[in-house]
Amino acid sequence: MLGRTLAKRLSLPLVELDQLRRAHPDDAEFVRRVSALAADPAWIIDGHYRLVRDSIWGRAEMIVWLNYPLGFVLVRLTGRFAAKMRGASRSVEPVEGSNGSDRAPPASWARRFGRLARTVRERREYRELLGEAVRRGAMLVELRSETEARAWLGSLPWPRPRDEPMPEGPPSC
Total of domains in the chain: 1
The answer to whether residue 36 sits within a structural domain is yes
Q: Is residue 141 within 8 Å of 65, Cβ to Cβ?
A: yes
Is residue 23 included in any domain, yes or no?
yes
Rounded to two decimals, the pTM is 0.73
Q: How far is CA 159 from CA 109, 112, 154, 172, in A?
A: 43, 39, 10, 22
Structural domain of residue 46, as residue ranges?
Answer: 1-68+137-173
Amino acid at 141: V
- In the prediction, which pLDDT does 31 show? 98
Domain membership flag for residue 10:
yes
Give the Cα separation of 64 and 47 in Å (integer).
10
Q: 63 pairs with which residues across the strands? A: 140
Indicate the average pLDDT of the chain.
Answer: 81
- The DSSP H or E segment spanning 113 is helix 109-135
Domain assignment present for 173 = yes
- Is residue 7 included in any domain, yes or no? yes
Instruction: Please check whether residue 90 lies inside any domain of the structure.
Output: no
Q: Per-residue confidence of the chain (173 residues) as pLDDT tens digits?
A: 899 988 988 889 999 999 999 999 999 999 999 999 999 999 999 998 999 999 999 999 999 999 999 888 888 878 877 787 777 666 545 444 444 444 445 456 677 677 778 878 888 888 888 999 999 999 999 999 999 999 998 888 775 554 555 555 544 44
- Alpha-carbon distance of 86 to 92, in angstroms, equals 10
In a domain, 152, yes or no: yes
State the Cα–Cα distance between residues 28 and 2, nearest whole angstrom.
Answer: 28
